[in-house]
Structure 1
């Protein structure tokens, strides 16, 4: 089994389209999808995000990081939330993503494999400390 993150992405056009939709229907559709993943035993975590207008960006392009407050000008893509699934393959993660209730203009899901702790050099002090922390919190 491997973990995959399904990243909900949208555009300004998507946001406008969702504002015109029935919020209760959105909640019902998303809730049903989440329950389906829970019953299948694949959902590890999932969260939605607040409006990008309330966010900040830390830009590391210069020696001193620059912090910019939202709202932003035209946004080509927004990261709206995520699910983390534990599934047998990328193909299975894709199948779950295809069921997500994310219809609409500019709405997308990006699928990325989560790097596991065992993929890093195990003789690294920081990896050993993280492993100890994860074990102490029941994550491993």
Structure 2
């Protein structure tokens, strides 16, 4: 038997970890990192009560049950699970950055689509949270 073969299984964890970090980082480049360029924060205040978003799409990436939102009168705080932290810093997006919300219904599912202004470009933002919709200013919310 070759002397390297017994050590080969021990390489699995570091190789898998490096691959995971690469994949998570590449996913962040599709939308979250554009938002982070304008809205990244060091940390979310402990006083902000956060809830898990069952459906969230930023750009082309779905973050179903992987993002927590803290809704405040000033805006929304977004954080991911720790395993997705690479390339996903916490965000604080003020309500003024949101564009008009469009309601889309397909069968029994209702989603809300908006765009977030991010340094001259626009990032697609879709969600299903009624609490998030109700927190948006009425001028942005539109008619349901």
Q: For this structure pair, what is the TM-score category when the shorter chain's length is used for normalisation?
A: under 0.3
Q: Which has the higher strand share?
A: 2
Q: What is the TM-score with the length of structure 1 in the denominator?
A: 0.20
Q: What is the TM-score with the length of structure 2 in the denominator?
A: 0.20
Higher relative contact order (CA 8 A, sep 6+): 1
Q: Which has the higher helix share?
A: 1
